[in-house]
A = this chain, B = another copy of it.
Amino acid sequence: MRWSSFFRTASRAFHENPSLSKCLVVCTMIPFNYCSGGGLLAYADAAAEKNMEDKCRKKKVVVLGTGWAGTTFLRNLKSTSFDVEVVSPRNYFAFTPLLPSVTIGTVEARSVVEPIRSITRKKNMDIQFTEAECYRIDPKNNKVYCRSSQDRNLGGKQEFSVDYDYLIIAIGARSNTFNTPGVEEYTHFLKEVEDAQRIRRKVLDLFERASLPCVSEEEKKKLLNFVVVGGGPTGVEFAAELHDFVHDDLSKLYPSIRKYVNITLLEAGDHILNMFDKRITEFAERKFSREGIDVRLGSMVVKVTDKEICTKERGSGNAVSLPYGMVVWSTGIGPRPELLQFMKDVGQGSRRAISTDEWLRVEGFHNIYALGDCATINQRKVMEDIAVIFSKADKNGDGKLDAEEFHEVVDDIIERYPQVDLYLKKKQMNNIMALMRKSEDVSGIVDIETFKAGLSEVDSQMKNLPATAQVAAQQGVYLANCFNRMEQCERYPEGPLKFRGTGRHRFRAFRYKHLGQFAPLGGEQTAAQLPGDWVSIGHSSQWLWYSVYASKQVSWRTRYLVVSDWGRRFIFGRDSSRI
């Protein structure tokens, strides 16, 4: 490495990271001492120099995405020993759970977004943001290739690459069309803020179009048939919000066409909100049917054309065609196209999300993390490791675990394989010994067969985490904590025993803690399912919903805006200007 390039690097680092200054002063002073020593420069050991520079150079963390996972990571990162660069096509964080409210103006789009630069600026850390999308990841050379996401002809070079030491992939997912023909072209998704804004405009367009004097009655009915595909929380909330908008606001402004409005909710499964408690599902279905929202269960969409949406009814097998004014598609998620090549490269081409280990590391890489909707944790099965667990636990190698040996390893097993804990809870057992005892005598000595038999069913408790903001946010917090304590944990690992290797894992594995879930049903009523199967439906849950969503805002600005939007809506109703 030449001196000129060293000084260039140093100068850049100094300009970009004032906090580096002290460190740089030290670095640059040492060579000058050499110089004043006279003639010593030639002997300066190249290796020592590199070592020094490496010590000064912070590790570069590149974060892709500014959604829940990426932003929560950034907000919780406290360690100043990293140089962080964020690359995302959106220069803001969006509070996505409020998107259905944005579609009809209960809350304004701008109230649910916060510039990522504002979020990171307050941290007084080396966080750079670049508005671009990453189109290629090169894990061999620790490099990502990016390009500006603005398609407008602003001029200037638009592509660049960024080197990383750690890469955090948190780019989220896209709506899954299940390759249904016409979905991409004719339906609206509800993933981004822009989607919500487009839906809002379209709803008003349709009301205005249906009000024209030249439009026939049949045409009015078609224009005002709003079809929602997917009975998950998003689809249900959108249908409910749309019903409120029509009922509370538009019916006063467009009284002559109110009677033509129809909202249809298509769900391929047996029930809407099927991830919720039965009581909630039933309540929602009854409420919708009372309000005239046409819920069609077991209805598979097979095709969407510019005029009609075609379904196949599972019960009767009939094909049904529905003329529509607008279709909102909210059936689930799939991988973003930018990620497909990387997934192929790492041998995960056929998966629907990047597979990671329990420490959120992409399988096969120690420095690439993936979290949020774009990733799924591939929990290790106990039964795959059962032999190595046993041999590791059997310290004296007598082929049996005595009480002491068992006691020593049990915490590590539960830590490393969280499904064990879930299984114990499900069976209402106190500890893992109970599993063994059940199938053996009470001596406390366990052989490999007993061990296997005892744990044989625990893997049935493994399930993928839902693709929710809650999971992504918890992963972001978890990963930030890992980075915050990286140095400390390198020295004093706090994770469980490595059953297949030596030593311990640096960190405890990620553990999701479900805090409950809401399903707003319109008319100031919300269904809430809280931990411990506690279910609450009605106006009180709506107030709980208001408080939780207000408290979860990322800034006081958005908190103020969201609350004032709710107030504004109570007093003045929703705005129907078509802008």
Residues of chain B with a CB closer than 8 A to A213's CB: 130, 160, 162
The verdict on A214 contacting B158 (CB below 8 Å), with A109-B579, A148-B209 known, is yes
B307 touches A155 (CB 8 A): yes
Alpha-carbon gap, A189 to B253, bound state (A)? 31
User: Which residues of chain B come closer than 8 Å to A253, judged between CB atoms?
Assistant: 115, 117-118, 121
Instruction: Find A152's partner among B117, B129, B205, B561 (CB 8 Å cutoff).
Output: B205
Residues of B within 8 A of A215 (CB): 156-157
- The listed residue (B15, B110, B556) touching A577 by CB distance below 8 A is B110
Give chain A interface residues in 194-233, CB to chain B under 8 Å: 194, 197, 204-206, 208-209, 211-216, 219, 222-223
**A314 contacts B by Cβ under 8 Å:** no
Chain B residues with CB under 8 A of A115:
253, 575-577
Which residue, A114, A154, A307, A564, has most C-beta atoms of chain B within 10 A? A154
Q: Does A513 contact B (CB under 8 A)?
A: no
Question: Is there an interface contact between B16 and A256, defined as CB atoms closer than 8 Å?
Answer: yes
Residues from 438 to 465 in A contacting B, C-beta threshold 8 Å? none
A137 contacts chain B at the CB level, 8 A cutoff: no
Per CB-CB distance, the 10 closest pairs between chain A and chain B, nearest first, are: A92-B577, A160-B214, A131-B208, A557-B572, A117-B253, A156-B219, A113-B577, A157-B214, A156-B215, A115-B576
* CB of A395 within 8 Å of the partner chain: no
Chain B residues lying within 8 Å of A248, measured Cβ to Cβ, are: none
Q: How far is the CA of A16 from the CA of B118 in the complex (A)?
A: 52
Tell me, in angstroms, the Cα distance from A561 to B567 when the chains sit together: 11
Q: Is A150 an interface residue (CB 8 A)?
A: yes
**Residues in chain B near residue A90, CB distance under 8 A:** 578
Asked if A159 is at the interface (CB within 8 A of a chain B CB), the reply is yes
Q: Closest chain B residue to A131 by CB distance?
A: B208
In the bound complex, CA of A556 to CA of B117 (Å)? 34
14 further A-B contacts with Cβ under 8 Å, apart from A108-B110, A130-B212, A131-B208, are A90-B578, A91-B208, A92-B579, A115-B253, A115-B576, A131-B209, A131-B212, A150-B209, A152-B205, A156-B216, A160-B214, A162-B213, A560-B572, A564-B564
**In the assembled complex, A254 has its CB within 8 A of some CB on chain B:** yes
Q: Is the CB of B108 within 8 A of A154?
A: no
- A205 adjacent to B110 (CB under 8 Å): no
A325 proximity list for chain B (CB < 8 A): 154
A291 interfacial contact with B, CB 8 Å: no
Q: How far is the CA of A148 from the CA of B155 in the complex (A)?
A: 36
Question: How far is B250's CA from A91's CA once the two chains are assembled, in angstroms?
Answer: 13
Residues of B within 8 A of A91 (CB): 204, 208, 576-578
- Interface presence of A568 (CB below 8 A): yes
A207 to chain B, nearest CB (A): 9
CB contacts (< 8 Å) of A197 on chain B: these are 579
A153 at the interface (CB under 8 A from B): yes
Q: Is A132 an interface residue (CB 8 A)?
A: yes
A252 in the interface (beta carbon within 8 A): yes
Whether A132 touches B579, Cβ cut-off 8 Å, given contacts A91-B204, A205-B154, A572-B556, is no
**Cβ contacts under 8 Å, A194 to chain B:** 579
Decide yes or no whether A284 CB sits under 8 A from chain B.
no
Q: Do B155 and A223 touch across chains, with their CB atoms under 8 A apart?
A: yes
B-side contacts of A556, CB under 8 Å: 572
User: Contact partner of A108 among B16, B108, B148, CB < 8 A?
Assistant: B108
A162 CA / B338 CA spacing, docked (Å): 52
Q: How far is the CB of A523 from chain B (nearest CB, A)?
A: 22
**A377 CA to B209 CA, complexed, in Å:** 35
Interface size on A, residues (CB 8 A): 67
Report 30 cross-chain contacts, Cβ distance below 8 Å, ordered by A residue. A16-B256, A91-B576, A91-B578, A92-B577, A92-B579, A110-B575, A113-B577, A113-B579, A114-B577, A118-B576, A129-B211, A130-B211, A130-B212, A131-B208, A131-B211, A131-B212, A150-B205, A154-B325, A155-B223, A156-B223, A157-B219, A158-B212, A158-B214, A193-B579, A194-B579, A197-B579, A560-B568, A560-B572, A561-B568, A564-B564
A306 within 8 A of B: yes
Within A153-175, the residues touching B (CB, 8 Å) are 153-160, 162
Contact in complex: A150, B208 (CB < 8 Å): yes
User: Chain B residues with Cβ under 8 A from A571's Cβ?
Assistant: 557, 560
- Chain B residues contacting A92 (CB-CB under 8 Å) are 577-579
Residues of B within 8 A of A160 (CB): 212-214
Q: How far is the CA of A314 from the CA of B182 in the complex (A)?
A: 58
| Residues of chain B contacted by A154 (CB below 8 angstroms) | 205-206, 209, 223, 325
Give bound CA distance, A176 to B159, whole Å.
38
- How far apart are the CA atoms of A252 and B124 in the complex, in Å? 12
| Nearest-neighbor residue (CB-CB) of A129 within chain B | B211
- Smallest CB-CB separation from A206: which chain B residue? B154
Chain B's nearest CB lies how many Å from the CB of A205? 5
A573–chain B nearest beta-carbon distance, Å = 8
Whole-angstrom distance between the Cβ of A86 and the nearest chain B Cβ = 12
Identity of the chain B residue whose Cβ is nearest the Cβ of A255 in the assembled complex: B121
Distance in angstroms from A368 CB to nearest chain B CB is 21
Residues of A125-148 contacting chain B, CB below 8 A? 129-132, 148
Interface string of A307-329 (1 = CB under 8 A from B): 10000000000000000010000
Interface hits, A529-579 → B, CB 8 Å: 556-557, 560-561, 564, 568, 571-572, 575-579
